[in-house]
Each structure stands twice: as C-alpha cells, then as structure tokens.
Structure 1
Amino acid sequence: MIKYAKLFVAVLLCGLAATTSFTFAQYQPDRLGEGFESKTLVMPDDYSGRVVTTLVRSLSPCPDVHRAVLYVHGYNDYFFQKEMARTFTDSCFNFYAVDLRKYGRSLLPEQTPFEVRDLSEYFADLDTALTLVRQEGNTEVVLMGHSTGGLITSLYCEAHRDSLPVQGLILNSPFLDMNMSGFYEKVLVPLVSAWGGCFKNTKISQGNSTAYAESLLKQYHGEWDYDTNLKFMASRPVTAAWVRAIHRGHNQVHKGLHIPCPILLMYSSQSVQGDEWTPQHQSGDAVLDVKDIARYGRTLGPHVTEFEVKEGLHDLVLSKPAARASVYAEIFRWLRSNGLER
C-alpha cells in the first residue's frame, strides 16, 4: 500500500510540474555567458501548436536589491544586449529580458518566425514573466520595450491600466506607426489587414535590405556580435495576419492611450532612408520615422517624458558610444526624477 501511495504522489507531482512548468523550471546558464541565466516557460498551445517563452536574467551584485527592469525586444530580434543589462545591474537593478513566443530562444523548429494574429497574445508572456520577477523579490519593476516591443508594452500597460503591474515604462524607438508613404499606410496596409482576417497565412515580403544589420554587426560597420540565425540579416516574410495585428495595434495607439505610469519616450534625432548601407546609417534610425514616434508617443498617457538622441540608431542602446551614453544618462535621470532608482 505504501509503495502505491508513493507512486501516486510521484505521478501527481509530475502532472503538476507539466501543467505549471513555468513555476518548476530551473534557470540554466544562458548563451550570453557568465552572469546570465535563462529558463524556458511552457505556455498553453495556440493555433499553431506548442508555445514557449524564455526569461533571461542577470542579477545585480548590489545588496538588498528589490527593483528590476524587464526588457522586451523588437521585431526580428531577441535579447543579446549584454552592455545594457550590465549598465542596469551595476546601477543596482536586477535585469530581466523576455524572448517572446516564436522569437529568438523561444522559436521552435516547427514554428513560423514572429507569427502572431493579435498582439494581445504576448500579454500572457509578459504576465508570466512579471509574476516570476516579483516572486524573486522585486517589488518595483520598470518595463522597457524596443520597437515592436515598445508597441506591445504600451498596449499591455493600457490593457492593465486599472491594476498596472509595473511602476514605469521606458520606450526605445517604439513602433507606433508604419514607416511608409501615405498611399501604403492609408490604402494598402488596411487592405492587407482586411485580407489577413480571412487568409491569415498569406506571406508578405519585408524586402531584402541588410543595411540596418550592417550598421550593427561588428563584421560590417557596427560594434556588436549577435546570432544571425535568431536576428536575421534581412527580415523574413511575415503573414497577412501579422500585418493585421500590427495595424489594429497602431489604430488603438492612434486614438490615444491612457497609461497611468511615467513613460520615457526615446527616439533618434533623425531617420535615414535607403536599402543600401551608407555612412548615414550609423547616425540615424534606418527603420522608423522618428516624427511618427514623437507624434504618437506623446498621446500614450499623461506622464510622457520625451528624449531625442543625437545620431541614435534604431536600437538606441546599440548606437555609437556618445549617443548611447546619453541614452543611459537620461534613463537614470528619469528614474531618479520619478522615484524609481535605489
């Protein structure tokens, strides 16, 4: 009888671990090396099957740290910005980053990269990550989003505005509008969005430009190394459903949001055009229209602080040394002014 009781308990515990794997999963050494750990969080299946998200962390060496930053990457991206993490941990913040479902560390072999049908699908990833960050003793959390991650985090904060689980929102070149001509934005994108409601898997090309990647990678003109199997040199095609999800998210932002927490809105001083790399690509945003970021970023809530980064790249923390130094100086000035620094 005792033998069967033990067997029953073992089976029960295995079942619980399977159904709540994000609770029992252990951190493992991360691909970024010393000082970084990650854990895979198994999420409920969606329309394409299995889904996971990944939480990466780097803990501060400071004693008694109870404040954290949770970073959300952009489109065609994953978390690799070690310098950013160390800047926060050296300043007595625990640092976390999430690789969203179907991105980076979380992309499963059978999945279409970046596939999404509604941006709210990512809210479960953020809810789970924030729950774990708080379980680890962080009582104050600042959310930080880059590009598409900035759009997702803005919509997330809007959806949770009555019980906001974070104390601040930092936006690094948030993707708040398409960077296209008026005809494309007013006619073509809405048509593709409508098409995506019925024919979700229609492939939409994103072009084959590698100019932005060349501005970042050390082997070309930048300062950084990253895995081009996770952050592709040229963007992969997206689905019509992806366009629909982004279009609907943009429409919501364009009507104005009411995010109650302090927001730091950061963007480059200029945009750069052209599919071929030029020296100008090292001194501006080659992905988005910075005027759109400013225009719509101001409408996200009542407590928006704007900061224009001279000669900043699209990912501001990957800009030239002087530009990114100004980014970090402004972040910590903003944190202090809002009572969010230790």
Structure 2
Amino acid sequence: MKHFVVPESSNWPDFISSTCPGQWVEDPLGPDFEHQTLDFGTDAEGPAVATLIRYRPAGFRQRLGRKAQGIVLSVHGWSDYFYNRELAAFWHHHGYHFYALDLRRHGRSLRAEHALPGYVDDLADFDEELEATLELLRKEHPRLPVVAQGHSTGGLILSLWIARRQPEIKALVLNAPWLEFQGTAFLRIPIHGLMEAITRTNPRRKLSGPEFDHYWQSLSTDSHGQWDVHRLWRPRVAFPNTAGWLKTIFDGHALVAKGLKLQQPIFVLTSDRTHIGTTYSPDMQHCDSVLDVQQTRLRAMKLGSFVTLSEIPGAMHDVFTSGEPARAAAYRDLSLWLRMVGTAR
C-alpha cells in the first residue's frame, strides 16, 4: 500500500469552508486528495451541505486511463467521516476512480451552526446528496459502473437508498453494516415504539444514557489505535442520540428485516466475533466492539439474493481499520470477490 505523509488532524480546522460550485480544492488528507462542497441550501438544522472527496494521485490518468474498471462511492458511519487513505489507494490499484461522501452534518460537512451533528429524522434525507453525487460521477466518468461502499450506518443508508430509489449501482460492498439493533428485534420493537411516541412531540430530544469511548480508544492514535482521527469529526464520544434519529434507524432496521430484494451482488465483511462492554479492553482491538456480528450476518441475508459473507478473524468494527493480519485478510477477500463478480481486472 502507498505510504502517506500528511499533516496531523490536530492541525486541521474544526470547520472547513465551503467551495464554490463545482470547484475542487486540496483536501486536509493531503495532495492526493481533493474535495468539493455540494450545497443544498438550508434545512431545519441549518446549512444543508455535503462534501465529496476524491483520490487523484500523481499520474492517476496514466495508471487508469481507458483501463478504468469503474467508480467507487464510499459512505462513512455514524459520528464519522472519510479518513482512510489506504482504502482509497486499494480501490485505485484495482482500477477504480475513488470518491467518498461526508454526509450532511458529518465530518467536512459540519458547520458551526449545527447544534446536533449528524442529525436527521429520516434517512431518506440523504437521498439528495447521494443522487447529486451519482449524477456528478456519471458526468465525470460516463459509462463506467458504480460500486457503492458503506460502513456501519452508511451501509444501512446505502442499502435503503438503493431499495427505495433504484439507482444504477452495479455492486454493493458493506463493511460491518448496521442492519439490526444490538441484540435482537425483540429489543428493537418496543424501543422503536417508544421512540415513535417521543418523536411525535419532540424528535430532537436528546436521549440520556451512559457515554462510552471504548471504540474511539481502539481506533485513535491518541489512545490505543492506529488512526489519526479528527477530534470533532470522529469524536471520543459519539454524537448525541436523539429520538428522531433513533426512530429513523429503527425504521430502516424494520425494512431490512422484511427483506430489501436488492438485485446487485453484495459483499458483507464483519469481524468473527463481538465484544461489547462499557470500558475499554485490549481485546477490543481484535473484535467488533460496536455491533453484534451474528445479527449483522443474519440480517445481511435479507438484503438480496446474491450476498457473500466474509468473516475476518481479529477484525475491528470498521474492518479496514483493523490491525494486521486482519486488515490484509479483508483486502484479500475483497479482491477475490471483485474478481469473482467481474468488477476488477
């Protein structure tokens, strides 16, 4: 994999400025990355902007050129943003133009006016930036197929978008997608009802509860992890949960449980085991400390008729942030799957 030398995220601003329409500017990730703002005016939470990031290493046209296999659109999870340079380089190596989207009120799309980072009360609100991005990619790279890639909540958002809107997506790669509430549907159903009742009167109501930082500890170089993550964009404690946001997540889980009937080939990566606790443990470097992987794999089979499961021993929640040898195993399995479904050279 390519070695990257870039400024530490501690030197990045809390909020980045919006670009002019259609303007690409150098991204904080370094000279091989650019971003542009997608501006949708305002919504009930303030500026409605998303940020599209692209990977353009030196000489990328010569390396891809007419041999390009397609385009990848990557979507992050909750309380998250795109920062994985190695993942972009992997896709580029396999012949793909790589793009990532920081959804509204996440990462580069956060603005000082946003009182509730990440908040939406309907996951369909993200359709606007997903479809605007898809249109832009079609113009930039006509006739190339698009592969959608989503992590955690991003995997749920992409799956529901494809089921609802039927965009022209050739394949779907899901990295530990959040497809069911931790535990079982038996827990989700009563909590869903409670969130529906609260949402009728105050969807923005913050839900009180314990705050945990163990996943951040397993991820960040400021603790036990290997990744330099922005203090505001990937915070130590996740964005506040609200009744409206949790209700729309449960709405999505209920739809997945009924079956989405997606037609695309789907590749789902997870760790081989779960360790959910209230405090950090070194074992969390080698397992999913956020989601129940058994429930994830069970619900993944409800997504469509062509689902491939990859179980990565020793992987973390975000499989592509795991330590070695788990991370190498994840890239190996993804490479094999791409060849199997005919989307890589």
State the TM-score, normalized to the length of structure 2. Answer: 0.88
Deviations 1:284-312 (A, max 9, x none): 00000001101110110011111111111
- Residues 1:274 and 2:250 are matched in the alignment: no
Structure 2: 5+ residue stretches without partners: 1-17
For residue 109 of structure 2, what is the amino acid of its counterpart? Answer: S
* DSSP-derived class of the 1:36 partner: strand
Q: CA deviation at 1:94?
A: 1.1
Aligned to 2:154: 149
* DSSP-derived class of the 1:150 partner: helix
- Residues 1:63 and 2:64 are matched in the alignment: yes
**Distance in 2 separating the partners of 1:191 and 1:24:** 42
The 5 Å alignment of 1:154-233 reads 154-161=159-166, 164-180=167-183, 184-205=187-208, 207-233=210-236
* DSSP-derived class of the 1:69 partner: strand
RMSD of aligned C-alpha atoms?
1.8
- Residues 1:129 and 2:133 are matched in the alignment: yes
For residue 48 of structure 1, what is the amino acid of its counterpart? Answer: E
The percentage of counterpart residues that share the same residue type is 35
Aligned to 2:268: 265
Q: Check conservation: 2:69, 2:145, Cα contact below 8 A.
A: yes
- Residues 1:33 and 2:30 are matched in the alignment: yes
Structure 1: 5+ residue stretches without partners: 1-20
Inter-CA distance 223–49: structure 2 relative to 1 (3 Å threshold): closer
**Distance in 2 separating the partners of 1:183 and 1:301:** 23
Which structure would you say has the larger Rg? 1
Q: CA deviation at 1:190?
A: 2.3
The one of 241, 245, 248 aligned to 1:242: 245
- Residues 1:326 and 2:323 are matched in the alignment: no
Inter-CA distance 23–220: structure 2 relative to 1 (3 Å threshold): closer
Aligned to 1:120: 124
* DSSP-derived class of the 2:47 partner: strand
* DSSP-derived class of the 1:186 partner: helix
**Distance in 2 separating the partners of 1:126 and 1:206:** 32
Q: 4+ residue stretches of structure 1 with deviation over 3 A?
A: 21-24, 180-184
Q: Check conservation: 1:71, 1:145, Cα contact below 8 A.
A: yes
For residue 231 of structure 1, what is the amino acid of its counterpart? Answer: R
For residue 220 of structure 2, what is the amino acid of its counterpart? Answer: L
Q: Check conservation: 2:188, 2:250, Cα contact below 8 A.
A: no
* DSSP-derived class of the 2:30 partner: coil
For residue 106 of structure 1, what is the amino acid of its counterpart? Answer: S
For residue 150 of structure 2, what is the amino acid of its counterpart? Answer: G
Deviates more, 1:95-104 or 1:189-198: 189-198
Give the count of matched residue pairs: 320
**Distance in 2 separating the partners of 1:22 and 1:262:** 35
* DSSP-derived class of the 2:31 partner: coil
**Distance in 2 separating the partners of 1:52 and 1:25:** 13
For residue 209 of structure 1, what is the amino acid of its counterpart? Answer: F
**Distance in 2 separating the partners of 1:90 and 1:213:** 29
**Distance in 2 separating the partners of 1:33 and 1:159:** 36
**Distance in 1 separating the partners of 2:243 and 2:131:** 26
Aligned to 2:11: none
**Distance in 1 separating the partners of 2:268 and 2:49:** 30
* DSSP-derived class of the 1:238 partner: coil
For residue 321 of structure 1, what is the amino acid of its counterpart? Answer: E
Inter-CA distance 237–267: structure 2 relative to 1 (3 Å threshold): same
Q: CA deviation at 1:182?
A: 7.0
* DSSP-derived class of the 2:52 partner: strand
For residue 139 of structure 2, what is the amino acid of its counterpart? Answer: Q
**Distance in 1 separating the partners of 2:177 and 2:135:** 24
For residue 120 of structure 1, what is the amino acid of its counterpart? Answer: A
**Distance in 1 separating the partners of 2:75 and 2:210:** 24
Aligned to 1:13: none
* DSSP-derived class of the 1:317 partner: helix
Q: CA deviation at 1:192?
A: 1.9
For residue 325 of structure 1, what is the amino acid of its counterpart? Answer: A
For residue 86 of structure 1, what is the amino acid of its counterpart? Answer: A
**Distance in 1 separating the partners of 2:109 and 2:209:** 22
Inter-CA distance 206–120: structure 2 relative to 1 (3 Å threshold): farther
Aligned to 1:49: 46
Q: CA deviation at 1:328?
A: 0.9
Deviations 1:152-202 (A, max 9, x none): 0000111133xx321000000000111147774232342123311331111
For residue 63 of structure 1, what is the amino acid of its counterpart? Answer: L
Q: Check conservation: 2:19, 2:25, Cα contact below 8 A.
A: no
**Distance in 2 separating the partners of 1:255 and 1:76:** 27
**Distance in 2 separating the partners of 1:237 and 1:315:** 20
Inter-CA distance 90–254: structure 2 relative to 1 (3 Å threshold): same
**Distance in 2 separating the partners of 1:36 and 1:123:** 24
